[in-house]
Amino acid sequence: MSEPHDHRHGRDDEDSVSYYRTMEIAVRSLLIEKGIFSAQDVRRTVEAMDGRNYSRGARVVAHAWQDGAYRARLLANGTAAVEELGMQVGPLKLVVVENTPAVHNVVVCTLCSCYPRMLLGLPPDWYKSREYRSRVVREPRAVLADFGTALPADVTIRVHDSTADMRYMVLPMRPPASAGESAAQLERRISRDALVGTAVIDR
Partner 1 sequence: MSGSAGMPGMYGTDPEGAAFLPAHFSPGDRVRVRAAIPPGHVRTPWYCRGRSGVVERLCGAFANPEELAYGRPGLPAQPLYRVRFQARELWPDYRENAADVVEIEIYQHWLETAPEDRP
Candidates 138, 185, 188, 202; binder of partner 1 (CB under 8 A) is 138
18 in active site = no
What string of H, E and C letters represents the secondary structure of 52-87?
CCCHHHHHHHHHHHHCHHHHHHHHHCHHHHHHHCCC
CA dist list (Å): 75 to 1, 94, 147, 169, 171: 63, 10, 26, 10, 9
191 in active site = no
**Contact present, 160 and 150 (Cβ < 8 Å):** no
Among the listed ranges 6-14, 117-125, 139-147, 185-193, the one in contact with partner 1 (CB under 8 A) is 139-147
29 in active site = no
Mark 160-179 with x for binding to partner 1 (rule: CB under 8 A) and - for no binding: xxxxxxx-------------
CA dist list (Å): 192 to 66, 117, 141, 199: 19, 12, 19, 9
Q: How many residues form the binding site for partner 1 (CB under 8 A)?
A: 24
CB of 95 to partner 1, least distance (A): 8
Site for partner 1 contains 19 (CB under 8 A) = no
**Measuring CA to CA, which residue among 155, 160, 90 is closest to residue 118?**
90
Amino acid letter, 40: Q
Site for partner 1 contains 135 (CB under 8 A) = no
112 in active site = yes
Amino acid letter, 41: D
Site for partner 1 contains 89 (CB under 8 A) = no
CB of 192 to partner 1, least distance (A): 22
Question: Which among 29, 112, 134, 182 is annotated as catalytic?
Answer: 112
CB of 187 to partner 1, least distance (A): 28
Q: Which residues contact 174 (CB under 8 A, 6 or more apart)?
A: 65, 186, 201
CB of 164 to partner 1, least distance (A): 4
Site for partner 1 contains 73 (CB under 8 A) = no
Active site residues: 109, 112-114
Interface contacts to partner 1, rule CB under 8 A: 93, 95, 110-111, 137-142, 153-166
